[in-house]
Structure 1
Amino acid sequence: MYTEASAPRVPGDSAQLVTTPYSSPQGGCLNFWSNMYGATMGTLNVIMNNGASSTKLWSRSGNQGPNWQLWQVSVPASANYTIMFEGIVGNGFTSDMAIDDVSVTAGSCTLPGEKSLT
């Protein structure tokens, strides 16, 4: 997924990408790569929806550097949930962002939060 921040986009505009439903009786680990490189970078949120409730699992704002980052986010045990990626445009055209290679695996996350691809 790629969000474009140039006109006609304005600060605060958002785009959402929602996964197909998952079920993790013991919980799981959401894995994805992101690129958030730009002087006026906005915010990327990861939100879990399971019926009537939503929980923000992860959020990053601002310039995260030129390299792609691998993120792992713990997902609590739940039946029939979706994950929503929400990209929010920052204060200028240099706030394009992207995610790639999204997966959910069973069990605990193995990395201490992030890893840079160099």
Structure 2
Amino acid sequence: MFSADPRTNPQAQLLHEISSAEIPAAVWEAAGANGAQGTGGMHTKLQAAALARQSGVATVIAAGSEPQVLLRVARGEALGTRLPALVSALESRKRYILSGWDGQARVQVDAGAAAALARG
């Protein structure tokens, strides 16, 4: 995530962490406009990260083109933008239990994504 849209602002800087409870308006603007149901742009990624952190999950938004990005982030390398969790894991678990989730969620991956995941 950047302080401004790097495509239009050469002064835009990578934000290594967004620790404030509210994601700054400038970051949302830099992420670009998107409809209520985005399809994978930066705005959609930022929405997902905001939801995750409110649920007690720290999130990193990083470039998927970076070699072995998932492994490197999991090992603690500072890549992309980190959004720390806003609530404790225990609080998050209590919310999960109270939500009454039925466990019927699924992840759907197209053939191209499956091949990319298999390659690592």
TM-score of Structure 1 vs Structure 2, range by shorter chain: under 0.3
Larger proportion of strand? 1
State TM-score, norm by structure 2.
0.25
Larger Rg: 2
Q: Which has the higher helix share?
A: 2
The structure showing larger relative contact order (alpha-carbon pairs under 8 Å, at least 6 residues apart) is: 1
Normalising by structure 1, we get a TM-score of 0.25
